[in-house]
Chains A and B, each alone.
Chain A
Amino acid sequence: MRYLPLTDSDRGEMLSVIGAESIDDLFVDVPAEARLSGKIAGLPDHASELEVERHMAALARKNLSAGEAPFFLGAGAYRHHIPASVDHLIQRGEFLTAYTPYQPEIAQGTLQVLFEFQTQVARLLGCDVANASMYDGSTACWEAIGMARRITKRGKAVLSSGLHPHYVSVANTMAKFTGDALVHEAPSLDAATDIDALIAGIDRDTSCVVVQYPDILGRIADLTPIADAAHEAGALLVVVVTEPVALGAIKAPGDMGADIVVGEGQSIGVGLQFGGPYLGLFACKQKYVRQMPGRLCGETVDAAGKRGFVLTLSTREQHIRREKATSNICTNSGLCALAFSIHMTLLGEKGLRDLAGLNHALACQAADRLSKVPGVTLMNDSFFNEFTLILSKDAREVVRNLADKGVLGGVSLGRLFPDAPDIGHGLVVAVTETVTAEDIEAFAQALEEELA
């Protein structure tokens, strides 16, 4: 077996050093009835690299990948072009095959990257500090709700109807077990967000208000009034960003008064990957840093006085605090954070603003073209690179039929909100720099045929 370096003669020599007759002797503590005498039944034996590659390639070919079709899906995962050097650099073995940097003297590469990543994320989100990443946006969102509970010692979170429904589901799953009360409704197909209703829903029991920006329907609204209302009531504002590229064009949540900003970092550097691994972003105001979940990297000096970096404030974490930890998270998304950071370094502020500008311009063009299709109405007044179309029939069927025509034409609200049939005619469409004018035209024509 090509990955196993021991030879039979090595094994024999080693057994004699150990003083054992056979490998089976080393498993003497396993009760006989639990020991398998031979290979597990029902599974094939080892295979060559070529055979495995062939098998996997055959499965890969059964999928219609985003690059093969006019592609307009978003709703929490975005397709952006990733510069070639990003994937090259994250495959450096020293990054790819390293462990969590618990031995800082020989992990300065990873640690400096995390320090730079934390700074990039904090600046992008408009916050004082950011951690070294979470699993994904949805788990980061739940962790933010938990953090708000610890800070305010209150247990009611008011969730915007514009929050990604899967994020709401994750929070609902957890809240059943922690006892948090979550207030949430499905969105309605209006150009205006639910900001007024949210403000009306804040009371003295509220730990936090959770708002997505841009929201699940692509709408953007000034968050300052919600921040003010939340703070007035002693609650926190948690803002969720699922498309961080937007923050190259629109105001940062932290600059509008958000206390905790979490996000899905996938759209910068990470790629679609059918949903994972992704990258949870987590940032907050300096005063809340000791209530943060997850790993933090900090600057220090070594014995010779040189600047260096270490994991720090670990007394918040499970390996020190056990059941009193701020979270049970251990492994995070280090390599995805590296990809994000490299891509962001390549972009720089100029590149990020250009990227955001290009996304917005193409989205405006697509919105204009698609809303000319008979049976299509553009719901949004405001949007960044994603908007909602109201179709003349249920969007689920439309999406499936478009796929049969080779067009990946958005995400239906029926799939996202199966319990809210009144918004089933909504279709969420994302337009990034990877979309061409031809793609927009192909989508418009296919949609026209489908709605005719």
Chain B
Amino acid sequence: MTMMREGRPTTPVPVKEAHMAPATATGNRALMLEEALIFEIGSTGTTGVDFGEIPPVASRIGNLARTDSIGLPGLSEQETVRHYTRLSRQNYAIDLGLFPLGSCTMKHNPRLNEKVARMPGFADLHPLAPQSTVQGALAVIHELAQWLVTLTGMHSVAMSPKAGAHGELCGLLAIRAALEARGDARSVVLVPESAHGTNPATAAFCGYKVEDIPATPDGRVDLEALKGRLGPDVAAVMITNPNTCGLFEREMKTISDAVHAAGAFVYCDGANFNAIVGRVRPGDLGVDAMHINLHKTFSTPHGGGGPGSGPVVLSQALTPFAPLPFVERKGDQFVLVEEETAEQHHRSTFGRMVAFHGQMGMFTRALAYILSHGADGLRQVASDAVLNANYILRSLDDVLDAPFGASGPCMHEALFSDKGLAEGFTTLDIAKGLIDEGFHPMTMYFPLVVHGAMLVEPTETESKAALDQFIMALRSLAERAKAGDEALKGAPYHAPRRRLDETLAARKPVLTWADPALAQAAE
């Protein structure tokens, strides 16, 4: 007997160009599946969760029962899994490839850390459980705190801030409390032009007037301008080091000394700590407060925009003002110092920043990351992160303008500008072109001090092969943009969506789904 083989061709047949990508009836493109909203596919009577019998009781809700329809659609478990799996495939992620988003430190997220965070002994603990029942959790916070203090050369660390910007808030509140404790009301915070937007926003959020400090032509803080502005009204200077141009602030210690001499404090934005971890201690540079983004340097996952975690290391001068709660060791016990347990010598705290004790789920991950790397591995992290960035800088500075390329090596990120692109071509076009090449774009138009900035941060967890492919892609895009290849202006062509109309979104905001039938009836 012979097998029937007709109708099962295994050799591709030539196809006419016009037929290469015909539209499909569903809008799907093979593995790229379109997915409707849950409000379009679910119904309020469908559920993917079964509950047992509800015992009959006399209600204690009174006349407050919610009787109207809430309008929350449900899906069965299978439909739910499919909905979110399909949506997930419309995302780019580190797990898919290099994610060179400058200032964001998108490095590999080790899966051991996910496993550890989910251990019931950590994940299934209530924040107000009696302290005798959470000694292991308090030990994690204490152990991580010790590592952070040692790595930064600082005096203490406030663990509760929920993210980088929240950490900035913590640092500035500590500074303000310290100034007020010595009866010294000051009203101004100085922020370099190149700072992250969160710096001025945070300073304003705690009631300070924000003033810019200019940069020198080589991309660093203008020391003379800073010194000239310091005075009795300046509470703090917020500096990012390494800065957002990817450069180390060589004069950091001199800056700190000048700031201290003027009676003010130095806040350091630690977003770029990855460049120096294990090689430089901010405490040696005169820093008074610095937040550490555990979701950057210590690899807790970004999760599509959080959660983050922003512990703040503090100098001796600021330590008494640290927020509640914090963990102290007393003999072989750990004590959570909060409102109930605070003793007299804790009373200078500036207060509480969050309901509970910070991002425990991030602490376990960060501690596992740190223990995995150890002192030797963390030093290697900074070394490789800086090596990778310089490799990109020097592999592309012949086709892309590197505004500070002449002023020496960069730190963990390489900065390019749009200078030299053909008339009408922009950083945005290169970024969107990278999408078609299978990469997440670099940070665009930041820092603001460079025209058409492209800030590339590869991180240490990229192989040389991945870097070489990225360099090849960016080189090709730079050449196309310089040659005026009009096709680039339409990129991306191969992503789940083409360029989106952000102006329309802002002009006529549609922020929630409304049933079109009901919306029409209402008009």
Contact = CB atoms under 8 A, between A and B. Distances in A.
Given A105-B492, A178-B206, 5 more contacts: A29-B408, A63-B121, A94-B92, A300-B501, A332-B307
Contacts of A67: 120, 124
Interface string A336-373: 10100010111111111011011011111101000000
A273 B376 contact: no
A273 B122 contact: yes
A184 interface: no
A435 interface: no
B127 A360 contact: no
Interface residues of A, number: 214
B139 interface: yes
B522 interface: no
Interface in B58-87: 58-66, 68-75, 77, 80-81, 83-85, 87
Given A99-B302, A119-B512, A272 B127 contact: yes
A330 B164 contact: yes
A331 B112 contact: no
Given A40-B151, A418-B339, A332 B116 contact: no
A56 B368 contact: yes
Contacts of B353: 139, 170, 173
Nearest to B161: A135
A126 B203 CA distance: 34
Given A26-B409, A347-B49, A349-B69, A295 B305 contact: yes
Interface string A43-68: 11111010111011111111111111
Given A23-B383, A30-B280, A99-B101, A400 B59 contact: no
A334 B306 contact: yes
A93 B280 contact: no
Nearest to B284: A34
Contact of B147 (A43, A96, A384, A400): A43
A388 interface: no
A57 B364 CA distance: 11
Interface string A114-139: 01101110111000111011011111
B355 A364 contact: no
Interface in B499-523: 499-502, 504-506, 509-513
Given A6-B464, A323-B203, A334-B306, A123 B70 contact: yes
B65 A222 contact: no
B124 A108 contact: no
Contacts of A59: 121, 136-137, 139-140, 143
B381 interface: yes
A25 B409 contact: yes
Given A105-B495, A277-B307, A300 B377 contact: no
Contact of A220 (B62, B127, B176, B358): B62
A47 B374 contact: yes
Given A328-B169, A331-B308, A45 B377 contact: yes
Chain A CB within 10 A, most for which of B109, B308, B411: B308
Contacts of A87: 118
Contact of A36 (B196, B279, B513): B279
22 contacts: A14-B387, A36-B379, A40-B379, A52-B112, A61-B136, A76-B127, A93-B96, A94-B90, A94-B96, A103-B435, A107-B91, A170-B351, A247-B66, A302-B500, A303-B498, A308-B500, A310-B500, A320-B197, A328-B169, A334-B306, A346-B47, A348-B73
B150 A4 contact: no
Interface stretch (B35-43, B226-234, B312-320): B35-43
Chain B CB within 10 A, most for which of A101, A310, A328, A350: A328
A85 to B, nearest CB: 5
Interface string B344-386: 0000001111111111111010011001111111111101101
Nearest to A213: B64
Given A167-B355, A300-B501, A345-B75, A66 B125 contact: yes
B94 A93 contact: yes
A51 B460 CA distance: 23
A26 B386 contact: yes
B60 A364 contact: yes
A274 B463 contact: no
A298 B505 contact: yes
Contact of A302 (B99, B135, B305, B498): B498
B57 A360 contact: yes
B304 A99 contact: yes
Chain B CB within 10 A, most for which of A45, A172, A179, A433: A45
Contacts of A172: 351-352
A425 interface: no
A408 B125 CA distance: 11
B420 interface: no
Given A30-B279, A36-B279, A116-B39, A5 B46 contact: no
B510 A298 contact: yes
Contacts of A227: none
Contacts of A365: 55, 57
Contact of A53 (B115, B132, B166): B115
B88 A92 contact: yes
B215 interface: no
A103 B372 CA distance: 32
Contacts of B163: 135, 329-332
B359 A301 contact: no
A354 B125 contact: no
Given A276-B307, A328-B169, A23 B387 contact: yes
